[in-house]
Structure 1
Amino acid sequence: MIKVGIVGYGNLGRGVEVNLKNAPDMELVGIFTRREPSSINTDSPVYALESIYDFKDKMDVVILCGGSRTDIPEQGPMLAEYFNTVDSYDNHAQIPIYFASMDNVAQANRTVAVIATGWDPGLFSLNRLLGEAILPQGESYTFWGKGLSQGHGDAVRRVNGIKDAVQYTIPNQDLIDQINRGEEIVYDSHSAHKREVFAVLEEGADAASVENDIKSMPDYFENYETTIHFITEAELKADHQGLPHGGHVIRSGYTSEENHHLYDFKLQLDSNPEFTAAVNVAYARAAARLAREGVIGAKTVFDIAPAYLSPFDGEELRQRLL
C-alpha cells in the first residue's frame, strides 16, 4: 500500500482526497494545512503543516496542492529534502528553473520529485511531445478553455486589494475551425486566447490600480487580451462556483505531400481541480514506485513510463490494453 500525504486543502487538495478513495493501492495518511486543523471539514486525519516532518518515515509520497505563484516554489524544495513529492506547478515559463531547484534538492537527499503534473502542464505536454514525434513535419497548437483556470485565479486572488476572484480562459474558436479545415494559421498563445476575470474588491481598494496590477502580471496576464469585471461577493458566489475547464492539443502535419493528418487530444472537464488531482494521484503512484527502485531526482511526465501510473502490473496491462 502506497502511503500518501496531502499538503494544502483547497480545491486541489480536496480533489486529491476524493481520488485517493478510487485508488485501491493507495492510502491517505493525512492532510497537512497552514490553517487550524480543527477548522477543516473532513473525515480524514488533519495535521498542522509544521508537524509534517514527524511523518518522514510514514509516507511514501506527498502531493503538494498549493498555488504555483508562491506556495509550491517555497514548499517544493523544502519538502523534497525529506519526502518524495508530486506537484502541479503550472508557471510554464519558470518550469526549467523550478525543475533545476527541485532536482538539486532531490539528488542531494535521494528523493523523487515529480513536478508540473496535471493536464497542462502534464497530459497536454505529453501529447505535444507525441504529436511532434509522430508528425515531425507540421505545427502544434494548444488551446485552453473555455474554463476556469486554477493557477490564474490563484494569482489574481493574491493581488493586493482583491478579496476573491475567478479567471476564465477563452479560446479563439475561429482559429480552431481553421486548423480543423487543414488551413495554416499564425498562432501564438496570446492571440489564440482571451482572459476574463471576475473579481471582488477589498473595501477601499482602488479598482484602477488593481486592474493594472492584474493586467501587467508577467507570465499570467501580460500581453493577453484581458477583461476584468468587478462584481459583488454575492454575484461571485451565485454565478461563478462551477469549476469546468478543458481544451485541445492539436498537431497538424504531413507524412507526404499528398497526406495531411490531425492529431487532436481533447479534454472536457466538469471539475478542473478533481481531474488535475486525478493526474497527480497517478503520478504519486509512479513516484513511490520509482523511489522503491532507487531512482532519485526531479522528473516530469516526459521521464516516466506510462506503466508506472497504473495500479495493474505489466502482464495485466498487456492483456487488457495492448
Structure 2
Amino acid sequence: MNNIQIGILGYGNLGRGVELAISQQPDMELTAIFTRRNPAEIQPSLSGVPIYNVKDVLNFKNSIDVMILCGGSSTDLDSQSPAFASHFNIVDSFDTHPEIPRHFKSVNTSALLTNHTAIVSAGWDPGLFSINRLLAESILPLGHSYTFWGKGVSQGHSDALRRIEGVANAIQYTIPLESAMEAVRRGDGPAFTPRQMHTRECYVALLPDADPDTVRDQIVHMPSYFADYDTTVHFVSQEELQENHYAMPHGGFIQRSGTTGSDQENCHIYEFSLKLDSNPQFTANVLACYARSAYRLAAEGSYGAKTVLEIPPAYLSSRSIEQLRAEIL
C-alpha cells in the first residue's frame, strides 16, 4: 500500500508542527511545503523536504492526496479553505467558533463541486473537546456543560493580534478564573458569561511608529476574540517577547455535571482534560490524523466538508479495524 502523500500550506508554528507529526505516521509521506515567503530563505525542520512558493501549488494537484492548511483563522483560512478545497482534499483548523457554520457551508460548496473531501475545524478545540462535549451531553441529557481553556497560548488569538496594523509580534494567554472552576467542581451548576469564566492577557511588541492607545483599543474591542472578555494588554520589546514568551503551552478541560434517577438523586461528573507543552505541535498531530480520515473518505467517494463530529474514530488510526477491535476495544 502506498503512503498517503501530504502537502503543507503555511510554514509557521503549526506548519512546522505538522512536518514533525507526519514523520511519526507510518503510512504518510510529506511531499512538499508551500509558503508565501521566499522558499530559499526557509530551512525545514527535516532534511530533504522540498519547499515551494504558494503560487506553484496547483502543479501538485495530481501528486498530493491531502493538503493540510496551516494558516490562521482570522484572515487566511476563511478564503484559503474554500479555494483549495476546489483542487485538493484538505484539512484545516478553523477555530472561530461562532463562524464555523458559515465556514463549513462555504468549504462544502467548493469541495462538492469538484469531488473533494474537506475536514474543517479539526484540532483540540474545536476538535477533541467538541467530541467530548457531544459524548457528555448525549450520555447525561440533564445537566450543565462547561469548557475552560488555559492557562495557555492561543494560536488563533495570537495570530489575530499580529494582524493588527502596527503590531510587530504578539502572544495571547487565555486564563481560566479559579472562582468559576471551583463553582463547577462543587456541582453548583452555575450559569456563566464568557467574561465570568476567562480573562485574556496579551503581550504585544509594536513597530516603531505604532500608537499604543490605538492598538490597545483595536485589541480590546475585537469581536469574537477579545470584546467579550476582560483583556489586559502589555506592551513589551521584541527581546522580552522572545525571551519570556517563546514556549506555547496550553490545555484545559471540558466538564459536564449531570443527574440520573427518578428524582435526579444521583450526580455524575464527566471530565476530559488536556495539558499541552506545545499547543501547535499537539494540534499538528491531530491534523495529521484527520488527514488520514480525509484520504479514506475521499477514496470512498464521501465528498464535501466534514467535521470531527461526523468522522468515525477508527478512520483516524493507521491500524485496521480488525486490529482496533482486538487491541483497543
1:61 and 1:85 in contact (8 A); partners too:
yes
Return the alpha-carbon distance in structure 2 between the equivalents of residues 105 and 265 of structure 1: 34
- AA aligned opposite 1:178: A
Partner of 2:25: 23
2:162 and 2:170 in contact (8 A); partners too:
yes
**Alignment partner for residue 101 of structure 2, among 96, 104, 115?**
96
1:110 and 1:296 in contact (8 A); partners too:
yes
Partner of 1:237: 242
Gaps of 5+ in 1: none
**Alignment partner for residue 307 of structure 2, among 300, 306, 316?**
300
1:50 partnered with 2:58: no
TM-fit CA distance, 1:190: 2.6
Relative to the length of structure 1, the TM-score reads 0.99
- AA aligned opposite 2:145: S
**Alignment partner for residue 131 of structure 1, among 118, 131, 136?**
136
Stretch moving more, 44-53 or 273-282: 44-53
TM-fit CA distance, 1:186: 2.0
Structure-to-structure mapping, 1:158-197, within 5 angstroms = 158-197=163-202
TM-fit CA distance, 1:98: 0.5
1:248-272 superposed Cα distances (whole Å, 9 cap, x missing partner): 0101101122210111100000000
**Alignment partner for residue 7 of structure 1, among 5, 9, 24?**
9
- For the residue of structure 2 that corresponds to 1:302, the secondary structure is helix
2:194 and 2:228 in contact (8 A); partners too:
no
Structure-to-structure mapping, 1:1-322, within 5 angstroms = 1-42=3-44, 43=47, 44-256=49-261, 257-322=264-329
1:37-64 superposed Cα distances (whole Å, 9 cap, x missing partner): 1111112111111111011010110000
TM-fit CA distance, 1:131: 0.7
- AA aligned opposite 2:25: A
1:141 and 1:187 in contact (8 A); partners too:
no
Relative to the length of structure 2, the TM-score reads 0.97
1:225-244 superposed Cα distances (whole Å, 9 cap, x missing partner): 00000011111111000000
- AA aligned opposite 2:113: A
1:32 and 1:48 in contact (8 A); partners too:
yes
Q: Percent identity?
A: 51
TM-fit CA distance, 1:180: 1.5
Return the alpha-carbon distance in structure 1 between the equivalents of residues 228 and 249 of structure 2: 24
1:197 and 1:226 in contact (8 A); partners too:
yes
Gaps of 5+ in 2: none
Return the alpha-carbon distance in structure 2 between the equivalents of residues 213 and 295 of structure 1: 42
- AA aligned opposite 1:259: N
TM-fit CA distance, 1:173: 1.7
1:108-162 superposed Cα distances (whole Å, 9 cap, x missing partner): 1110010000001111111111110010000100000000000000000001111
Equivalent pairs counted in the alignment come to 322
- The structure 1 segments of at least 4 consecutive aligned residues displaced by more than 2 Å after TM superposition are none
1:142 and 1:189 in contact (8 A); partners too:
no
Return the alpha-carbon distance in structure 2 between the equivalents of residues 64 and 191 of structure 1: 33
1:88 and 1:115 in contact (8 A); partners too:
yes
Q: What is the RMSD computed on CA atoms of the aligned residues? A: 0.7
Return the alpha-carbon distance in structure 2 between the equivalents of residues 21 and 14 of structure 1: 11
Return the alpha-carbon distance in structure 1 between the equivalents of residues 268 and 40 of structure 2: 55
